[in-house]
Amino acid sequence: MKSKCFFSHEDISKKIIRITGISGEMMYLIKGSKRNVLIDCGVGIGHLREYINNSIGIDADSVILTHGHIDHIGGAAEFEHVYINPLDNELARSYMTKEKQLAHLYMCGIDSKNFEVEDYCEFKGIHFEDIIPGQLIDLGDVKLHVLDAHGHTKGQVAILIPDERVLIAGDSCNSFVFLFLQEATTVKEYKEMLEEMRRKTNGSYDRVLVCHGSGEEDKDIISKVIDVCDDIMGGRSDDIPFSLFGQSGYIAKAVGENNVRLDGGSGNIVYNGVATV
C-alpha cells in the first residue's frame, strides 16, 4: 500500500529542490548530471525516498547528514550511502531512537497518535560513510564543497555550491542557533569557526539556505552571528533564560513572537552561559 504523504517540495533553482517534512524540517535535493544527492533526511516520519521517486520523479541513493540530530537523520535507513562527519557518528547513533523522535514531534506540537507503525522509518542497518570538511563531491555539472561548521555539534558541516552560488548552512548559522546543548562548543570556538567559514566562502554565494523557519537567511548572517558572539563575550548580551528537554541556556538577544529579535537585529544564539571555557 502506498504510504501517506508527509512531504512537500519547491524548486530553489534548476539544480536544488527544497523538501519540507512533517515537523517543518527542511532537506535539500541536489540534482547533478552524474548523480543526485540529498542533504539531510528529516525526522523519519513518512518515506522520503519513495516521495522523491514518485512526486519529484528522480532518485537519490545518497544522503549527506549535516549533523547528528534526529530531525536531520531520521530517514537515513532508506539510502544506500549515508555520509556524516565522523565527529558526529556517536551523537547520531544516540539520537536514532524512537524516544528522541517522539520528543522532537512533541516539541513541534505534533501528536504521534496520528501516525501508523508503517509511517515510521527504521533505525536499523545504517552504515555511516565518512565525509570530511574540505572534501569535494562531484555530481557532474554541480560540485559540493564540504565545510567545517562545528558549533551546534562537534561534527556539523555546511555545503557550499559555488555553481549555484548557494550556501546550505543547515543548523550551523541562523536566526536562533542552539549552542546550549551538551554536544555544542563554546561561543569562543564557534566564533572562530564562523570567522574561518566567512573567510573561505567570501564572495562565493548569494543565498543562505537553512533547515528551519523560512528556509532562508540573510546573505550576511555569518557576520551578524559573529557580532552576537562578540556581544556575549563582551558582556553585552541580554541573557534571557531558556530551557528545552531538561537542558537550560540563555538567549543572547531578547526576542518576541516567533523568536524575532526585539532590537530588530538578525542572528541570535542560545548558549549555556559560558562563553569561553
| Average pLDDT for runs of 10 along the chain of length 277 | 76 97 97 97 96 96 97 97 98 95 92 91 94 97 98 98 97 97 96 98 97 96 98 97 91 95 96 81
Q: In what order do the strands lie in the sheet with 207-210?
A: 136-138, 143-148, 157-161, 166-170, 207-210, 216-217
Does the domain spanning 8-271 belong to CATH 3.40.50.720?
no
Note the pLDDT of residue 156: 98
Neighbouring residues of 118: CB distance < 8 A, sequence distance ≥ 6: 3
What confidence score (pLDDT) does residue 17 get? 98
Residues in the chain: 277
pLDDT tens across 39-86, in order? 999 999 999 999 999 999 999 999 999 999 999 999 999 999 999 999
Q: How far apart are CA 179 and CA 6, in angstroms?
A: 29
Q: Are 68 and 85 in contact (CB under 8 A)?
A: no
Phi first, then psi: give them for residue 23, nearest 5 degrees.
-100, 15
